[in-house]
A and B are shown apart, each in its own frame.
Chain A
Amino acid sequence: MTQTRLVEVRQNVLKHNDVLARELRIRFQKAGVFVASFVSSPGSGKTAFLEKTLTKLRSQYRITALVGDLATANDAARLARAEVPVKQIVTGTICHLEAQMVSDSLQDWDLNELDCLFIENVGNLVCPSSYDLGEALRVVLMSTTEGEDKPLKYPTIFNTADVAVITKMDLAEAVEFDLKAAHASIQAVRPAMQVFEVSSKTGEGMDKWLEFLQAKFVDGQV
């Protein structure tokens, strides 16, 4: 006679990713590399923002970038214009980066030779939220053209991020972007989150962002 038995398991489904991310975080800390990841919807200006950031910091720090996309190496080519080492992770059909992909991409880079690593996730406001990449800082971007209520529609990704950046501020007036409403949306899903307002095109707000980032390097929050 067959019978059903209840077996207790208690195991995190993403254990494999979490364990790997923890290992990466320890490796980054030991090598003194500050790692920041960037998440947003497609077209919010992640690559332009990163290109600007990399260009501004490259004379002072040894910086590299990893960039994830479903297909093409276009973004890596764009980021390479900042004249820093860049690697493209082509995920195929996968809609997010995982710790394993980051780990694999680092194989021929000596972490001790680096100060900072930027990871640009696949443009997606849903899936990347579940996957820890071992980063010290997760930055979520939203552009003025996307609407003020983006955080209310995708609360999980905003909640798992450490800071938010509102991009394309140069277009704010043209699209009648309500900055106050945008800040309220962000605070509703992640109270006390620090927010930067920038335009990668005009350079508006970049100084404040770079100052914040450089303080992180100095603080040794790596």
Chain B
Amino acid sequence: MHELSIALSIVEMGIEESNKRGGAKVDAVHLKLGRLSGVVKDALLFSWEIACQGTTLESSRLEITEIPVVVHCENCKTDRTIAEINNFLCPVCNAPTPEVMQGRELEVTALEIIE
């Protein structure tokens, strides 16, 4: 499980932003989490409270938007969302779809800062 170290990295980014604003309190962090990122949402949420302790992010929320996996189907010449990450087949024509367009995200998009 590496979610605690991921949570600590996110907290560090939050602290950096908070420091830029004179140590303002961070109320929430918004995160995009791709289903192919290798990071598990529940484990990350579980680590969040511990990671925030004693920082300007204490008792903040971690708002996670899960990003589905989108692949490119060569056969249909279009992008398709796949439902399961262990079935890389076009849901329409059933062709194998190795090209991943979206779903590896692990990105902080915004912070809610109390002023």
Interface on A for B, CB 8 Å cutoff? 2-14, 16, 94-96, 126-127, 129-130, 151-153, 155-157, 159-160, 187-193
Contact = CB atoms under 8 A, between A and B. Distances in A.
B96 A151 contact: no
Contacts of A129: 38
Contacts of A9: 13, 17, 108-111
Contact of B112 (A6, A126, A159): A6
B87 A7 contact: no
Contacts of B27: 4
A189 B85 contact: yes
Contacts of B96: 187, 191-192
A10 B38 contact: no
Contact of B38 (A6, A11, A130, A191): A130
A130 B37 contact: yes
8 contacts: A2-B115, A3-B115, A5-B114, A11-B107, A14-B106, A126-B38, A155-B86, A192-B96
Contact of A127 (B10, B31, B38, B86): B38
**Majority secondary structure of chain A interface residues (helix, strand, loop or mixed):** mixed
Consensus secondary structure, chain B interface? mixed
Contact of A12 (B38, B106, B110): B106
B6 interface: yes
Nearest to B34: A156
A130 B36 CA distance: 9
B100 to A, nearest CB: 7
Contacts of A96: 2
Contacts of A188: 86-89
Interface of B: 1-2, 5-6, 9-10, 13, 17, 27, 31, 36-39, 85-89, 96-98, 100, 106-115
Contacts, number: 104
B105 to A, nearest CB: 8
A3 B96 CA distance: 50
A156 B111 contact: no
A192 B17 CA distance: 43
Contacts of A151: 86
B98 A5 contact: no
Nearest to B3: A127
B110 A7 contact: yes
Contacts of B9: 13-14, 16
A7 B108 contact: no
A14 B112 CA distance: 21
Contact of B88 (A10, A16, A191): A191
Nearest to A151: B86
Given A130-B39, A187-B96, A190-B88, A95 B110 contact: no
A159 B36 contact: yes
A126 B38 CA distance: 7
B86 A189 contact: yes
A157 B108 contact: no
